[in-house]
Structure 1
Amino acid sequence: MSTNTDIVDAPLTVLGGGPAGLATGFYARRHGLDVRLFEAADAVGGNARTLQMGPFRYDTGAHRFHDKNPRVTADVKALLGDDLRRIDAPSQIAWRGRRIDFPLAPYDLLRKLPLSLLARIAWEQLSIPRVADDADHFEEMALQSYGPTLARLFLLSYTEKLWGANADRLSPHVAGDRLEGLDLKTFFLEALGGGTTKARHLDGSFYYPKHGYGQIAEATAEALGREHIRTGARVSKLAHDGHRLRRVTINEDEPVHTGTVVSTLPLTLILRLLDPPPPDDIQALAESIRFRHLRLVVLGLDCPRLTPNASLYFPHRSVPFTRLYEPKNRSPDMAPDGQTVVVLERPCHPDTTAWTQPDDTLRAEAVSLLADHSLIEGDEVVASTHHEVPFAYPILEVGAEEKAARLKQYLDRFDNLYRLGRSADFTYTHVHNLYAQARRLTDRIATRSESVA
């Protein structure tokens, strides 16, 4: 039988040391709660780490910290101090030898697209229905919101390459909030007002730490207290009695008694770890949920700067990579003077040749891409490495959200288990949202602990 004292007798157990897990531990400690955090890797940060290659530093993703939640922004500023800087580095799309601003900016399109395309796009802005709020899939949303020409040029092919699925099989929510604002009003506002009249969604300004995005995770871990964090601790089993999680087994042979548990592990992994396992129908449903993995190619270059962009996107299907990001455009401290570093992302499914392709082949493709786009000449590459990012994105296919809801409903039977994070909740979100959610969650946990005590 469970007892309410379990809530206060055992430390709050946090599974996973990425942004969601660290934020949970950080805010829990603010409430005076005892915390223990288990992370399988040898360092915290999850998929938001900063790594080093000789004198070059790079992130495991093109991460930016958005100033969307004043309380969270204040907390992160307090953690990093002057090392958290506001950066203005817009992104662009590589298209037919031109660079198109992204998110799409009408004034920029007017300057860079052929007249025939502009005439077609302008006509479509007047004629498209713009009733995409109830679209059944991403393709329908894109066509109705942006018109066939813009959608097919810049959105549909890139989205299919990124997610590895046809656009008519993807949920309209896969784009998050990145495509908001390009409507008839903003189209003509920018067209008539010029480059100085920008819709708010087109702002390329964000916060970024001096020593890389992983500095946020490291600072959060320090504030949480390293004594509360255990790395190299892989969760291998979650024992339960049907109503509560009773034990977490670490590294196959170390059982740990649990009170309240916050899991940031991928939703499908949580279900696989349950002992006894879930019913067959729940297991089958979990197996049908998919995540997108990433392979990164990192190149140190003997040139001061490659592009002025935060990210450069490659929508054409013939290019295996989806985007390039240059950490030095976020912070000059990411590479030595006179040199720079770039990271190219290749999305993969784990059961494809892209995931198993030799590193040398992938590197050669990356170098060839830079040369083809006249970004490098000759032997500028002075260092290179590779990195794998599993479970980088939940694939929001049509129907996947409903499947995830059923899986989460099953897990809701465990009254001492909470979930938090992009992979744990199977939703696309940002770090500022994760910190805000962690703050609210630990408020609830602390209030519950106080009522029991």
Structure 2
Amino acid sequence: MEKVHILGGGPAGLAAAYFAKIKKIPFSIYEAKSSVGGNCRTLVFDDCNFDTGAHRFHNKNKIATSAIKSLIDNDLISVNAPSKIYWNSTMTPFPLDPKSFISDFHIVDKVKIISENIFNIFLSQKPDLSFKEAAYRKYGKTISEKFLINYTEKLWGVSANILHNEVTGDRFKNLTPLTLIKSLFNQRESNSKHLEGSFLYPKNGYGQIFESIENIISNKIMYNYRIKKIHTKNNSIDQVSFSNGERVKTEKAISTLPLNYFIHILEPSAPEDIITMANSLKFRNLRLAIFTLNCDSFSKNASIYFPEKKFPFTRLYEPKNRSISMAPKGKTCIVIEVPYKDCDKIGEIDDDEFLMSIQNHLSSNNIINRSLFLESKSVVMPNAYPVITKESKINTKKIYKYLKSFKNLKMIGRNAQFKYLHTHHLFNNAFYKINELPS
């Protein structure tokens, strides 16, 4: 039976390995670092656990839910912790709930919202809109500019006119123009189907999912194997070489590597036009500021979002609100996400300067009392989000057409597919990719 070589030990690679093991397909995982999990790890700091990202699991795919339940069983707990938007020094439910925020608008703005959304009802649906166009069509300009455009541009680092509407995901699919208009006239009624305050979460942190996979396949993981070259021959991935000088023959390859990096390490080189398109693909990094606080709880929210540009950060989350096991009694931990691109100052300043800047923003805006801060830590997460623009959608389609010429190659994962995917997507994709292989 041909062996599968899985390139990368992040969530997608581990999901693929899990299903390969179930199907009894021989495999090895090659991971550049000394640990696996990628950007889905749970770390310990000052007696508190925190995730490298505000991860939550939604029961949206039977294959993914079944796999994760089989891995952690009763440790997959149900959580009800709504999120909020911090805007104009007030908290507004997120995703947007018309009942909660429309009452705060001036009568002039309410008239604008009505007229914009009546107009939207009669607009025909169009594919491949920019994020800004899609937001205007769904919520109107007034609501979009106050809550959505600023936040989106902070997170992705490019104009909302350039971003593809795919980055919205499906969080707002039940919030319609008609819902908004009804809410203006009946404040006691609101369509709350779009709210996502209920979710599933591993008792010991989101990394528990991937640690559980690591535990059952640890003898198949090659740690500290940084991939240097992908050697191709006769329309196949022939060999993979590593920075330590080793080289392996490849029968089947599953890559979770960032798409632009994968194109750059092909040997022989990819065509010039493919390399140019790969160079245009950009990722957004995150720098996390972790603070332990001298209190049992900071808030009751899963996450708090910050759309205003005066804040350098986009999101704050408190792990203890996902699972009480994440922090000891009398202490809690918060994690603040600051997005940045390569060469931004935020990625170059030292930890002390970065952490003090974030702490000053939180205390000076009366979000957290300065006396509550205990210890702090900074963590960098490279390639956290693929920046999905209208141009990148066109380019990735062409790149994938080229990669399909390699008959023994499969690509899965957020960075390899250059898509804004979540855990349930990754497990579902991994299941089908593995089941396409002969057992």
- Normalising by the smaller structure, the TM-score range is over 0.9
**Structure-2 change in CA distance of 1:132 and 1:154 (3 Å):** farther
SS at match of 1:201: coil
The Cα shift of 1:24 comes to: 0.5
The Cα shift of 1:265 comes to: 0.6
1:375 to 359, 362, 367: 367
Counterpart position of 1:208: 201
Counterpart position of 2:291: 299
Counterpart position of 2:210: 217
Contact 1:98 1:112 in 2 (8 A): no
1:249 to 224, 227, 241: 241
Counterpart position of 2:300: 308
Taking the TM superposition and a 5 Å limit, the aligned residue runs for 1:227-376 are 227-376=219-368
Taking the TM superposition and a 5 Å limit, the aligned residue runs for 1:59-208 are 59-128=51-120, 129-134=122-127, 136-187=129-180, 198-208=191-201
CA displacement, residues 287-323 of structure 1 (integer Å, 9 cap, x when unaligned): 1111111111111111111121111111111211011
Moved more, 243-252 or 131-140: 131-140
Contact 2:14 2:213 in 1 (8 A): yes
**Structure-2 change in CA distance of 1:193 and 1:114 (3 Å):** closer
CA displacement, residues 336-380 of structure 1 (integer Å, 9 cap, x when unaligned): 111111111111110222221222222112112221342322332
Give the aligned residue type for 1:102.
F
Contact 2:99 2:189 in 1 (8 A): no
Partners of 2:183 and 2:66 in 1: CA distance: 33
Give the aligned residue type for 1:187.
L
Counterpart position of 1:4: none
The Cα shift of 1:159 comes to: 0.8
Give the aligned residue type for 1:321.
F
Counterpart position of 1:402: 394
Instruction: Report how many residues are paired.
Output: 438
Sequence identity (%): 36
SS at match of 1:151: helix
The Cα shift of 1:192 comes to: 6.8
Partners of 1:75 and 1:420 in 2: CA distance: 17
CA displacement, residues 124-180 of structure 1 (integer Å, 9 cap, x when unaligned): 322335445335311111112111110100011111111111111111112111232
Contact 1:39 1:233 in 2 (8 A): yes
Partners of 1:228 and 1:38 in 2: CA distance: 9
The Cα shift of 1:81 comes to: 1.3
Contact 1:306 1:375 in 2 (8 A): no
Partners of 2:156 and 2:341 in 1: CA distance: 9
Partners of 2:108 and 2:212 in 1: CA distance: 52
Partners of 1:160 and 1:236 in 2: CA distance: 34
Which TM-score applies when normalising by structure 2? 0.95
Moved more, 181-190 or 378-387: 181-190
Partners of 2:356 and 2:104 in 1: CA distance: 31
CA displacement, residues 16-42 of structure 1 (integer Å, 9 cap, x when unaligned): 111111110110111111111111121
Taking the TM superposition and a 5 Å limit, the aligned residue runs for 1:379-390 are 379-390=371-382
Moved more, 254-263 or 136-145: 136-145
Contact 1:40 1:234 in 2 (8 A): yes
The unaligned stretches of length 5 or more in structure 2 are none
Give the aligned residue type for 1:118.
K
2:411 to 416, 419, 433: 419
Give the aligned residue type for 2:271.
P
The unaligned stretches of length 5 or more in structure 1 are 1-7
SS at match of 1:133: coil
Moved more, 98-107 or 358-367: 358-367
Which TM-score applies when normalising by structure 1? 0.92
Partners of 2:86 and 2:50 in 1: CA distance: 22
The Cα shift of 1:112 comes to: 4.0
SS at match of 1:199: coil
Partners of 2:197 and 2:330 in 1: CA distance: 25
Partners of 1:403 and 1:242 in 2: CA distance: 24
SS at match of 1:400: helix
Partners of 2:38 and 2:126 in 1: CA distance: 33
The Cα shift of 1:189 comes to: 5.8
Give the aligned residue type for 1:156.
I
Partners of 1:415 and 1:66 in 2: CA distance: 34
Counterpart position of 2:428: 436
